[in-house]
A and B are shown apart, each in its own frame.
Chain A
Amino acid sequence: MLNSREFDARFFLADLIGAEVRSPAGLPFGRIVDFTLLLGEKYPRLSHIVIESPSGERRLVRRDQFSCFQPANLELDAVGDQLPLLSDIPDSVLVRNIWDKQIVDTSDARVVRVNDLQIAEIKGELRLLGVDVGFRGLLRRLGFERVLCPLIERFSGPLKNEIIGWDIVESVPTNFTHLKLAVSSEKIRELHPADLADILDDLSVQEGLSLLTGLDTETAAETLAEAEAETQAQIIAEMPSERASDILEEMEPDEAVDILQDLEEDKAAEILSHMDAEEANDVRELLKHPENTAGGLMSVGFATIFEEFTVEEAFKHLRLMAVDLEIIYYLYVVNKHDKLLGVVSIRDLLVANPSSRVPEIMNDKLIFVTPDTPQEEVAALISKYDLLALPVLDEDGGMAGVVTVDDVIELLLDNMPRMWKRRALTS
């Protein structure tokens, strides 16, 4: 936001629209109906004031053609028919179009509706300073500000304007105007995916899609992974299958599975067919299990090491694998036939002698579940033994996947009564 010393005066659009403009002789000339906007700068310039004459002509006037520019006192310096008509400039961007539209406040990562606009006069030029999203702005627009504000302030203290600087605002493409209003489209990309996901949850499917279109596949995947389950399914269902499969490939397979399970079968199959063969296989494997079992929760991003490994070799192996893993804290020790023998944690490896063999330090008292174990039992085991992840074994004792503690937390949150969840999320 600009420092208040940098501008000469501040106005609200609602106070200017409809204000009467007089000619130098003091006679009525017309009323302000709009402003034209030059996009591109941080605080865009309002190039012309649109004045409607009593006969209905809309003419453009510059700020410097006014001898006095105050909402209560608007007087022109020079008047004539030589003023250009609004219709002469076909592609003018009109400021009033921003009224009542939704914008993203990138500093708070929330979607808000524009009640009014704040305009500043800086070195003789009018500029768009910010949007007013507060209650006072709403009252101003409705023409109630002067009557109601003193009344409300008597009871509840000062009613402040809620201004968001134009430099931190991001426009939402609406169904009515497909115009990109703000210059700061970079701002949205700088947001954390979790914040982007909050925005996504507040937008309509169509708006959400256009928000994701502006993001690279990786960020889009991270954002979508953080969004609510319903938002995820609705947005993926609306995407072209190629793009949807690109995004799902970027996600952890278990997250991708959660989304695919909420889609119609045909659509899910189509997206799978566009996915990279290896990824698709992982996903198909996970899709076989019902959502509310260990198999439905588990992911395949874990590391296995062979029983012959030394501690040093185990580290080497982990370094190579770590990038693609969801959980790196545990390494699962298997034999030649892929049968699980024991588990070592990174802590065990760190404190062990680098040359000692893994089986000497591993924990061979296995705590595990099978793919059809109910999710509640999985949660109970993870909680009881204070685990970060729990192995899921198939009938041959081979590793099918792991359920991580964050999968379980999500599950617990989903089943929490809504009041608790709301309270937990705000505190």
Chain B
Amino acid sequence: MPHRFLAFARARRRLLALLAVVGPGLITATVDNDSGGIATYSLAGALYGFDLLWTLIPITILLIITMEMSARLGAATGQGLADLLRERFGVKVTFWMLLTVLLANYGTIISEFAGIASSIEICGSASGYPEVFVWLKYLLVPLLTYGIWKLITEYDYKKIEKFFLISILFYVAYPISAYLAKPDWASALKALVIPAWRFDAGYFFTMIGVIGTTITPWMQFYLQSTLIEKGITLKDYDDAKWEVGLGCITTDVISFFIIVACAVTLNFTPGMPPVSGIEDVGKALIPLAGGYAGYLFALGLFNASLFGAAILPLSTAFAICEGMGWERGMNKTYDEAPWFYWIFTSLLITGAVIVLVPGISFLYLAVMRVSQVAQGLILPPFLYFLVKLGDDRTLLGEYANPPWLSRLSWASFYILTVIDILLLGATLKELVL
């Protein structure tokens, strides 16, 4: 049957081509569900039940739009996003954009370490020996920080990428948690497609957090540079596009399960976060779903936070150096790329140290939430420049945004701007009154 054999060979070749591009999209999208993401989704579920589930579908669409645009920009130009920003909009725009990205990312890096610390504390509660685990935190966080530093500076990105891909498997902890919580699946699915509106600042705040944790500027920088690192150009672009889409959908499916799990097990008063720390979310799970649920939640959180803590300092340092025109990359020496090593190392170390200040753990959850809201707030200006680049015909030629995509992107930009302004307005109102 030579015919069938040919079809088989073609399918095999197709699969190999797809596997060759796996990595950038899946990893970038998954790191999205980092500690800040888990905190935000957990609280979204705990405070508003299923009411915020509907936002996941538009968010996924917007996530795919933005990630696809960065991927296309990278494949067509071979340049990073910061490079393109600098060449197209000049140094001032690039500088201020990167400064906001730096600040928001720094908050996120702290929240990753807060996530690591929290997951250790949740294990403490689950085991019944919280004091032991508090000490363990002071031992493990510095060790892990050193481990991350070693891993990133010593190993080839190719090897690290495989490591990251394995780490994605741990996200299965959340669907299992959700299943163990025995939610009403029918009403969860209904809430996914039928929007529920609330008009209070807390709802907007949480919504911005959910958007901000899912679609972040740093992801676009990271995705574009890892695609280039992998040598993906326009000829592999069709395969790469699917990989990016797959990553986006996977990440939001996991978000769905986190919200559902927390909506069922934790029921807090809307608008009033009663929890003082992310570990309370995990601890609250223990009496409801048993000690294993606590460990499972902690494992997921630990993995996600470690993942984020490894990628964010690297990605931030890389983007800043790229935009400012400084030498960068781990195959450069310290003497060649001092800025790069300084930024990377100080983000990593100060992020870890802040979390270890005694008595600060009550702030963990606040940091996780606020950093995600900050990411959400800087998203519209960032989106403005991204879509401008995507629309640019001199830059992309036939690969520029088709009219429908351009219109859809601009519409998203306006909607996000309005939501941001509403949030700022609602917050100001609360502050004044």
Contact = CB atoms under 8 A, between A and B. Distances in A.
Interface of A: 99-102, 112-113, 115, 133, 138, 141-143, 174-176, 204-207, 230, 233-234, 237-238, 264, 417-419, 422-423, 425-426
B86 interface: yes
B233 A238 contact: yes
Given A418-B153, A425-B333, A100 B231 contact: no
A419 B153 contact: yes
16 contacts: A100-B86, A100-B91, A100-B94, A102-B325, A113-B86, A133-B325, A174-B87, A175-B77, A204-B228, A206-B78, A206-B233, A234-B233, A237-B235, A418-B155, A418-B330, A422-B333
B90 interface: yes
A204 B86 contact: no
B324 interface: yes
B231 A112 contact: no
B102 to A, nearest CB: 15
Contacts of A422: 331-334
B428 to A, nearest CB: 30
A302 B188 CA distance: 73
B361 interface: no
Contacts of A101: 87
B92 A141 contact: yes
Given A100-B94, A113-B86, 14 more contacts: A100-B86, A112-B325, A138-B325, A141-B91, A175-B79, A205-B78, A234-B231, A237-B233, A237-B235, A264-B20, A422-B331, A423-B333, A425-B333, A426-B335
Contacts, number: 77
Contacts of A100: 86-87, 90-91, 94
Nearest to A112: B325
Given A101-B87, A206-B77, A426 B336 contact: yes
Contacts of B235: 237-238
Contacts of B91: 99-100, 115, 138, 141-142
Contacts of B154: 417-419
B324 A138 contact: yes
Contacts of B20: 264
Interface string B67-93: 000000000011100001011101110
A233 B231 contact: yes
Contacts of A426: 333, 335-336
A138 to B, nearest CB: 7
Nearest to A14: B91
Contacts of B78: 204-207
A3 to B, nearest CB: 29
A233 to B, nearest CB: 7
Given A142-B91, A142-B92, A418-B155, A205 B231 contact: yes
A13 B233 CA distance: 36
B180 to A, nearest CB: 43
A237 to B, nearest CB: 7
B394 interface: yes
B97 to A, nearest CB: 13
Contact of A99 (B77, B90, B332): B90
A138 B90 CA distance: 11
B238 interface: no
B413 interface: no
A230 B78 CA distance: 14
- Pick the most buried of B235, B325, B332: most chain A CB atoms within 10 A of its CB: B325
Nearest to B20: A264
Contacts of B325: 102, 112-113, 115, 133, 138
B156 interface: yes
Nearest to A209: B78
- Pick the most buried of A142, A175, A176, A204: most chain B CB atoms within 10 A of its CB: A175
Nearest to A424: B333
Nearest to B86: A100
Interface string B388-428: 00000011000000000000000000000000000000000
Nearest to B95: A142
A206 B395 CA distance: 12
A156 to B, nearest CB: 12
Contacts of B153: 418-419
Q: Which 8 A-B pairs have the closest CB atoms?
A: A113-B325, A204-B78, A234-B231, A422-B333, A206-B78, A205-B78, A175-B77, A141-B91
A205 B233 contact: yes
Contacts of A115: 91, 325
A205 B76 CA distance: 10
A230 B231 contact: yes
Contact of A175 (B87, B330, B336): B87
Contacts of A141: 91-92
Interface string B228-241: 10010101000000
Given A99-B91, A100-B86, A418-B155, A237 B231 contact: yes
A418 B94 CA distance: 31
A232 B90 CA distance: 31
A310 B209 CA distance: 85
A138 B95 CA distance: 10
Nearest to B94: A100
A66 B8 CA distance: 76
A204 B231 contact: no
Nearest to A143: B92
A205 B88 CA distance: 19
Interface in B209-261: 228, 231, 233, 235
Interface string B142-165: 000000000001111000000000
- Pick the most buried of B20, B91, B95, B330: most chain A CB atoms within 10 A of its CB: B91
Given A100-B86, A204-B79, A418-B331, A175 B395 contact: yes
A4 B330 CA distance: 40
Contacts of B394: 176
Contacts of A112: 325
A175 B332 CA distance: 25
A141 B154 CA distance: 36
Nearest to A114: B325
Nearest to A96: B90
A134 to B, nearest CB: 10
A363 B90 CA distance: 67
A42 B416 CA distance: 50
A418 B90 CA distance: 35
A423 B336 CA distance: 11
A204 B79 CA distance: 6
A137 to B, nearest CB: 10
